[in-house]
Structure 1
């Protein structure tokens, strides 16, 4: 696994509006460190990753104050209006022959084991892939809400083929960049990196990860992330 150059991109330019906090959610502290610091430390402590490109907003006044900001493995750049714009900005700094791991800034609980499994399977198959979890809830699809006062069930989905996408997501830099360029030129909305590859005709691998790899999105996610980080031995409660 060590023969391939792997860089990580962490898009951290979002404002986290759904958190309804006074500061961007990635700078909320869990224990003694911010969510972003926990996330970056997970990646920095993996020798397989040669560099981490952190993408922040141009009006970010927080990142420079973090201890991790001066780490020699970290390179900084500025993002755009969307996640896709930020990821693309990061790709511009990466060697096109490298593999890239794109990981959400707000997923601090991802395990080394799951990241290593993703890298192992992607390199073994020479095919991009993502971490994901199998859907266990019964999933309902609604009618178009623009025509409804309250959402109504249109159908029940077959969950046997459903997965909830997580991160990291790992692809060749050159391929991901080309797919994102093509999608943008056609004004295709990209919700993650895999959707860009899918738009380009690819079929990324699905590597099952632990369910503690949560994305901190709302206030109620913080106590859960705190519990998981405590169980992993990263913080004291």
Structure 2
């Protein structure tokens, strides 16, 4: 049995062992792709900043897949095998979290749950609550049914006052001792899909915190479509351009390499190729431009090489769940002759980006400032993937 790998008093059990029959993807629901990544990966990315040891409960045979997904999401997890029912799966997670003081139980299918919601649950536990559930007001009109009306759906009962109703979400948080006792004393004859229900059966109160509309459960194809639209495209394209004039005091640096000849003007090293790549990457992810990333006149970046900015852009993308797929750059100018060191330039840039970078060069047939040899321009196109 895997044990927790993170030293903390709080464990967060992510239940990802459901079959996903209603989603209709032919794989367990947490492993079905939405917006270019498994639902479980989206869920774990949203939990990366939470101060809790993560336990992921998955169907038998998918332990290795879950570990790979967790690595892509940038989190360390303990992976355990679930059981036939949700209760069995939660029990398996509790066993792996046996040293925790507080335990949160979360459905992987609520993959867009904001971290702030998780923090509200944890804060309520630390404030003294023994059981906490995030809830939302019920907005639909609700009618009661009777056993007789189940067979005749047009014959419904009275409208239920929704002012007194709340829709429950996850993660649900518990004093670990209380939840273990609830499972130990649960009536095996009564099926429960809710951990708070088991705690209430002990006669203990359950506190409520504010839920979030984004914490909806991905259950049906329509839910998956909603999540897809909220997450946005899995693939994005960005374009960046930069131009620098000759006249700098330092060496000529371009595409991460040093060349013969007069340097380019600029607060940093004037590497137009690297700067264009930065803007293309950031633009693709909707994260602004190089000025917003490092500042255009920050003293600490005076004379800095373009590689510093490229690596900072790649790191910023990773923080927001994106990674580069490839970048293409075209260099416009009379000199230097890019073709003479193309392979070297592509190798240096690819190492910075962590993905293939292709470089081409062209002149402007003597037209304009570039054609007169007064400077260099670079235009970059970046493809990124969620």
TM-score bucket of the superposed structures, by smaller chain: 0.7 to 0.9
What residue is the counterpart of 1:108 in the other structure? 111
Equivalent-residue separation in structure 2 for 1:59 and 1:110 (angstroms): 27
What residue is the counterpart of 2:125 in the other structure? 122
User: CA deviation digits over 1:2-42, x for unaligned, max 9?
Assistant: xx711011111111111122112211222232100111121
Distance 1:184 1:12, change over 3 A: farther
Distance 1:72 1:133, change over 3 A: closer
Q: Displaced runs of 4+ in structure 1, greater than 4 A?
A: 69-72, 233-237
Equivalent-residue separation in structure 1 for 2:321 and 2:148 (angstroms): 42
What residue is the counterpart of 1:221 in the other structure? 223
Aligned length: 231
TM-score by length of structure 1 reads 0.87
TM-score by length of structure 2 reads 0.55
Distance 1:64 1:36, change over 3 A: closer
2:185 matched to 1:182? yes
What residue is the counterpart of 1:26 in the other structure? 30
Contact 2:16–2:29 under 8 Å retained in 1: no
5+ residue gaps in structure 2?
A: 1-7, 234-319, 323-384
Distance 1:114 1:83, change over 3 A: same
- Structure with larger RCO (C-alpha < 8 A, sep 6+): 1
Contact 1:12–1:105 under 8 Å retained in 2: yes
Contact 1:96–1:174 under 8 Å retained in 2: no
What residue is the counterpart of 2:171 in the other structure? 168
Contact 1:134–1:208 under 8 Å retained in 2: no
Instruction: Select 2:19's aligned residue among 2, 15, 18.
Output: 15
Distance 1:35 1:222, change over 3 A: same
Structure 1 residue 126 displacement after superposition: 3.1
Structure 1 residue 219 displacement after superposition: 0.4
What residue is the counterpart of 1:192 in the other structure? 194
Equivalent-residue separation in structure 1 for 2:148 and 2:64 (angstroms): 38
Distance 1:144 1:26, change over 3 A: same
Which structure has the larger Rg?
A: 2
User: CA deviation digits over 1:167-210, x for unaligned, max 9?
Assistant: 0000012211111121144x221121111111111221111112
Contact 1:58–1:78 under 8 Å retained in 2: yes
- State the Cα RMSD in Å: 2.6
Equivalent-residue separation in structure 2 for 1:145 and 1:15 (angstroms): 31
Contact 1:96–1:172 under 8 Å retained in 2: no
Equivalent-residue separation in structure 2 for 1:147 and 1:209 (angstroms): 31
Equivalent-residue separation in structure 1 for 2:151 and 2:109 (angstroms): 33
Correspondence list, 1:80-99, <5 A: 80-95=83-98, 97-99=100-102
SS in 1 for 2:104: strand
SS in 2 for 1:17: coil
